[in-house]
């Protein structure tokens, strides 16, 4: 994060947090509400309205609780929203910047251009891309309708980048570091990892320790000048390869228990066995097929069968191919809600002798905030995708690499990716240097950075950690056999918090296994989702009537936070 980063509600830079809202009295509410009432066009003024509101109710008639003071309740609600909104004013996480690639390359080779017209080398029609830029700069709906598309597929919802939210951190106030540069060492290492993931899609997770292919991947990844992902003693190892680096992610099986356990679903139970494509079923391995997809042509549909547990990366890739926005986290919430004594220790109903939670601190509250967090996180992702970074997808990078190596065109890519063992093995297998894709249509038609799946993962998993006790062990953990046909006991301790973090990384980095994202799209995207979820939880922490010590959770970088009365500390 830049040294000049501003103070934040999340307290990332250590600056003072907003003060706790004052307790609302009748006089204070009416005084503070005068401006709100006037701004809303209320007439007569609040004091007069207060007097008038009393006339229609009588204690003898059994008036409701708020019967004699409906305006006070109304103004209290307005003041609460006002204080929540005011807490975000000017509280930026840092000065948002791009990596400069879009201005560096006049042919826009480093930018996302899928679905627009492309020439025979796979480079975008510059006039079409400039129309996209004009539309994004103006924000006018009519300008977006003038963007030319070349095939069947359309751009995915760029105008969502302008949407405002009424709760949590606004998308424009989230922060990401600039995307790794097109010609840089980090992107080269990320592409090396993505090529290896394509080669290793059909290696069962259970065989990672003994697979020669995984061993070759580890050796090659350690040869890059900028190694990525979690490491041991500065190196990628069989324990860390392809994994996330959040607390608990290196413990136990590669896949989270929350993607194995049965899902209680009302009057049914969902067994988590999913249809999967056949081994070796890869796409876009010829330049003609690749170019058609860049131009937005629809390919033939994917055939799949053989429902099984997620035992390898092809099964994981297909899960994140067709899942709906917050599916994994809805499922996780339903699993955890049916786990005894799983609520966070701060839940006020854990020790109540006369009450249980439902709309607050119970099932309805959990499911509601998980869903809210998911769509809120998409706004942050779309803001960065379309209005800031516009990073090209890995499949497009693979096309540039093909042109540089096979056709001798100088696409500006570093030698270390061209000389990677993964790229050589890909050519030996397919006859091209293109990145083999798990999805016939390749990536979606929106930019790479950040991954939408990752921002939703970051937000929804942050909500789950706030409601459930992170240190509680998972009951009866399991691991799939190599074929995914059955689950076997896992003899080790896994915690709710660790498995929630692992779930976030499984979904965020699962898209890399399909070839549609780089690691940084997922890792940095999760942090954007976390920023918005912390704001959501801060806003809702103001709303409870219960005596409540606050939400407590561990962030993805290992910090312990408590959220209470709108404050995060």
Instruction: Report pLDDT for 60.
Output: 53
Domains of the chain, residue spans: 185-568
pTM of the model: 0.89
The string of pLDDT tens digits covering residues 96-127 is 999 999 999 999 999 999 999 999 999 999 99
Percent residues over pLDDT 70 in the chain: 88
Cα–Cα distance measured from residue 470 to residue 491, given in angstroms and rounded to the nearest whole number: 19
Sign of CA dihedral 258, 262, 264, 268: positive
In the three-class reduction of DSSP (H, G, I as helix; E, B as strand; rest coil), residue 343 is classed as: strand
Q: Is 111 helix (H, G, I), strand (E, B) or coil?
A: strand
Confidence (pLDDT) at 74: 87
| Residues facing residue 551 across a β-bridge | 563
Indicate which residue of 384, 389, 453, 517 is catalytic.
453
For the cut 50, the answer to whether the pLDDT of residue 18 exceeds it is: no
User: Nearest 10 degrees: CA dihedral of 114, 115, 121, 124?
Assistant: -80
The pLDDT tens digits for 315-369 are 999 999 999 999 999 999 999 999 999 999 999 999 999 999 999 999 999 999 9
When the pLDDT of each residue in the chain is averaged and rounded to a whole number, the result is 90
Rounded alpha-carbon distances, angstroms, from residue 119 to 151, 395, 448? 13, 16, 21
Please say if 453 is a catalytic residue: yes
Quote the CA–CA distance of 479 and 484 in Å, as a whole number: 9
Domain 185-568: which topology? Vanadium-containing Chloroperoxidase; domain 2 (1.10.606)
Of the residues 118, 384, 389, 446, only one is catalytic, namely 446
Q: Can you give the pLDDT at residue 319? A: 98
Confidence category of residue 73, pLDDT binned at 50, 70, 90? confident
CA distance 554 to 465: 7
369, 360 Cβ separation under 8 angstroms: no
Range in 17-21, 197-201, 394-398 the model is least confident about: 17-21
How large is the C-alpha radius of gyration of the chain?
A: 26
Which residues are bridge partners to 264 per DSSP? 269
């Amino acid at each position: 994060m830049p040294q000049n980063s501003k103070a934040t509600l999340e307290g990332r830079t250590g600056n003072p947090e907003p003060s706790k809202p004052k307790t609302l009295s009748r006089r204070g509410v009416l005084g503070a509400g005068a401006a709100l009432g006037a701004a809303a066009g209320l007439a007569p003024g609040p004091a007069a309205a207060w007097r008038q509101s009393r006339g229609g109710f009588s204690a003898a008639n059994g008036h409701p609780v708020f019967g004699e003071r409906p305006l006070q309740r109304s103004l209290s609600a307005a003041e609460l929203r006002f204080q929540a909104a005011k807490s975000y004013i000017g509280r930026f996480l840092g000065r948002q910047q791009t990596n400069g690639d879009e201005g560096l390359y006049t042919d826009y080779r480093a930018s996302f251009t899928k679905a627009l017209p492309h020439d025979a080398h796979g480079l975008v029609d510059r006039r079409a891309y400039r129309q996209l830029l004009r539309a994004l700069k103006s924000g006018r709906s009519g300008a977006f309708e003038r963007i030319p598309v070349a095939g069947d597929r359309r751009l995915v919802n760029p105008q969502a980048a302008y949407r405002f939210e009424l709760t949590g951190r606004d998308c424009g106030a989230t922060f990401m570091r600039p995307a790794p540069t097109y010609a840089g060492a980090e992107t080269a290492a990320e592409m090396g990892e993505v090529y290896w993931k394509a080669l290793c899609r059909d290696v069962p997770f259970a065989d990672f320790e003994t697979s020669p292919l995984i061993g070759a991947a580890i050796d090659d990844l350690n040869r890059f000048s900028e190694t990525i992902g979690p490491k041991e003693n500065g190196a990628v190892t069989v324990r860390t390869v392809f994994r996330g680096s959040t607390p608990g992610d290196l413990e136990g099986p590669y896949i989270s228990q929350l993607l194995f356990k049965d899902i209680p679903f009302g009057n049914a139970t969902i067994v988590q066995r999913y249809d999967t494509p056949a081994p070796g079923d890869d796409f876009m391995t010829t330049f003609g097929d690749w170019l058609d997809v860049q131009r937005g042509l629809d390919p033939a549909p994917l055939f799949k069968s053989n429902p099984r547990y997620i035992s390898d990366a092809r099964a994981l890739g297909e899960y994140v191919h067709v899942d709906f926005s917050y599916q994994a986290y809805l499922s996780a919430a339903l699993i955890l809600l049916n786990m005894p004594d799983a609520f966070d220790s701060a839940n006020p109903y854990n020790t109540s002798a006369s009450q249980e939670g439902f709309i607050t601190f119970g099932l309805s509250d959990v499911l509601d905030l998980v869903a809210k967090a998911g769509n809120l996180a998409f706004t942050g992702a779309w803001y960065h995708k379309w209005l800031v970074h516009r990073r090209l997808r890995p499949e497009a990078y693979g096309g540039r690499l093909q042109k540089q190596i096979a056709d001798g065109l100088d696409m500006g890519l570093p030698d270390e990716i061209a000389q990677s063992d993964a790229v050589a093995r890909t050519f030996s297998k397919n006859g091209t240097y293109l990145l083999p894709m798990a999805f016939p249509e390749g990536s979606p038609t929106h930019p790479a950075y950040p991954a939408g799946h990752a921002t939703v993962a970051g937000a929804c998993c942050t909500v789950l950690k706030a409601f459930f006790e992170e240190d509680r062990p998972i009951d009866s953990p399991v691991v799939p056999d190599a074929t995914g046909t059955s689950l076997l006991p896992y003899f080790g301790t896994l915690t709710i918090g660790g498995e929630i973090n692992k779930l976030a990384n499984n979904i965020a980095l699962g898209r890399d296994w399909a070839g549609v994202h780089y690691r940084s799209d997922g890792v940095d995207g999760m942090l954007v989702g976390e920023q918005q979820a912390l704001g959501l939880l801060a806003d809702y922490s103001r709303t409870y009537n219960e005596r409540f010590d606050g939400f407590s959770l561990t962030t993805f970088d290992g910090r312990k936070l408590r959220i209470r009365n709108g404050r995060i500390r």
